[in-house]
Structure 1
Amino acid sequence: MSLPVPKPQEVWTLEDEEQHAEVDETLQIEPDASVEDPDFEPSTSSNPYLISQADLNDLIRYLALSNSQAKLLGSRLQGWNLLSPGTRISVFRHHHKELTQFFNQKQSYFLQ
């Protein structure tokens, strides 16, 4: 089964462009006809949301960023003034501290 290949017009006229312009204008949404959400309330504050230390840590954990990626994210956010004052960029992971209670360190008798 073969389909015919359409051929482009060889000569374009100004009238053809006007017809295309009329079609484009009918496809545009009128400003008065926009869809409105009755529950939407725009923010009246001009201050950006500043990311706290806990928010930054949660974001890093959620995105599963490595230490270098986390430091890069923190430095970019700091450069854009989006970190709240006192937020540290350095990342410390102390997952092992939760498990140390289950292990004892005894003197090894094999290293005499």
Structure 2
Amino acid sequence: MRSPSSARPAASAASSSSGPWTAAHQVAALVRAPAKLALTHSHLTVVTGQLSDRQAVEQAVTGSRLDYTIARITNPTDKPATGRIRSGFLGHGKVASAMSRADIAAFPVDQLTDARYRRAMPAISN
């Protein structure tokens, strides 16, 4: 098992329990335009990178020894944040398609303290 303090890349394409797995994680968010990311957190490191080759990014992240979360987003919108984030896996649960960009930005920050999607690629929506 990895230490809760290990780096955990979080990328977007897109019941409470206690224990060592629920401690805060260090998260590295790979983004094209870090100036547009209005969120800050003591456990968040923003990394600038080229994201045009989705498959290469996914292979680099999933092939690493680090924990990661890659969020799948199918229809980003410019609507205001709703504060509602539905997450899960396509075909399982109630994930829709549309999601505001502001809520998309909040998801990696939520992953700082949520181990549910460690080394996973959930779909997210509003």
TM-score range, shorter chain: under 0.3
Question: Which structure has the bigger radius of gyration?
Answer: 1
Which is strand-richer, 1 or 2? 2
Please, what TM-score do these two structures have when normalized by structure 2?
0.25
Please, what TM-score do these two structures have when normalized by structure 1?
0.27
Structure having greater relative contact order (Cα 8 Å, sep ≥ 6): 2
Which is helix-richer, 1 or 2? 1
